[in-house]
Each structure stands twice: as structure tokens, then as C-alpha cells.
Amino acid sequence: MRRGQKKGALVVVAVAGSVAALLFGSVTAAQANSVTRAQAVRAAKNYLRISGFSLKGLIEQLRFEKYSSSDARYGASHAGANWFKQAARKAKAYLRISPFSRSGMIEQLRFDGFTYPQARYGAIAAGL
């Protein structure tokens, strides 16, 4: 057997072991952690496509979906959101439903978990 063939066989064995671990439930904690974190990021991105969220609000939503606190924080933090733009999006959505004063909108966005600078930006970006 040539040297390259031996290396190829080892790769096949390693891949087969990983597939077997996934199929038969012998996934290590480290593997499970990276899988659940990847799923949390994916879920966070899906939520951000649907609606405007603050970091805090997105973490709470992921926790509601039964992600661990750690995975929810990781997913929300790694979803690639611009929280200022999310505040503007949320403010515009609120204005489609009900009228707000600027201070009322800022207060509502703060309640939703946005920081004061994010809430202020959102209110102004929405035209208040």
C-alpha cells in the first residue's frame, strides 16, 4: 500500500466515526455544543428576518425556544445584527400599528431591550 492510500483510509475512518457518532447518539459534549450553537445562530437569523429585535429580546426569544442561556446568548450575538437598524425596524413596525411621540417610542424600545442610544436612533430613524 502506498503512503497516500494509508492517509486516505484514515480520513475515511475518521469521517465514518463522526457519522456513526451522530447517528447513534454518542456525540461528545463539545460536538453537541457546537451543533446547538450553530442552530441557535440559525434560529436567531430567522427571527431577525421576520421582525426587529434587540439583543436582549432575541436572547429571550431563543430562551423561550428552549435554547440554553449560553447558546441563546451565543446565537443572538453571532447572528450579524446591527442593533441600531433593528431598533429602527422595530420603531417603524410600531408606527404602522399605533401613533407614538418620540419619547414614548424611546420608552417602548427601551422596554423591548434596546439601549438608550439604540432606542433614540430607532425613534429618529422612524421619523419621530
Splitting the chain (128 residues) into consecutive groups of 10 residues, what average pLDDT does each group show?
Answer: 47 42 47 80 95 96 94 95 97 97 98 98 97
CB atoms closer than 10 angstroms to residue 39: 15
Contact 87, 122 (CB under 8 A): yes
Contacts with 52 (C-beta within 8 Å, 6 or more apart), sequence order: 86, 87, 88, 89, 90, 91, 92, 93
| 107 and 46 belong to one structural domain | no
pLDDT of residue 3: 52
| 21 and 64 belong to one structural domain | yes
Closest-CA residue to 47 (of 32, 59, 34, 33): 59
Could you give the C-alpha distances from 15 to 1, 5, 23, 26, in angstroms and in order? Answer: 21, 15, 12, 14
CA separation for the pair 82, 73 (Å, rounded): 15
| 37 and 96 belong to one structural domain | no
pLDDT of residue 1: 45
Q: Which cell is 27 given?
A: 456525540
| 53 and 102 belong to one structural domain | no
pLDDT of residue 33: 73
pLDDT of residue 20: 44
| 34 and 59 belong to one structural domain | yes
Q: Which cell is 111 given?
A: 422596554
Full-model pTM: 0.72
| 73 and 88 belong to one structural domain | no
pLDDT of residue 34: 83
Domain that residue 109 falls in: 83-125
CA separation for the pair 126, 85 (Å, rounded): 10
| 13 and 71 belong to one structural domain | yes
| 46 and 90 belong to one structural domain | no
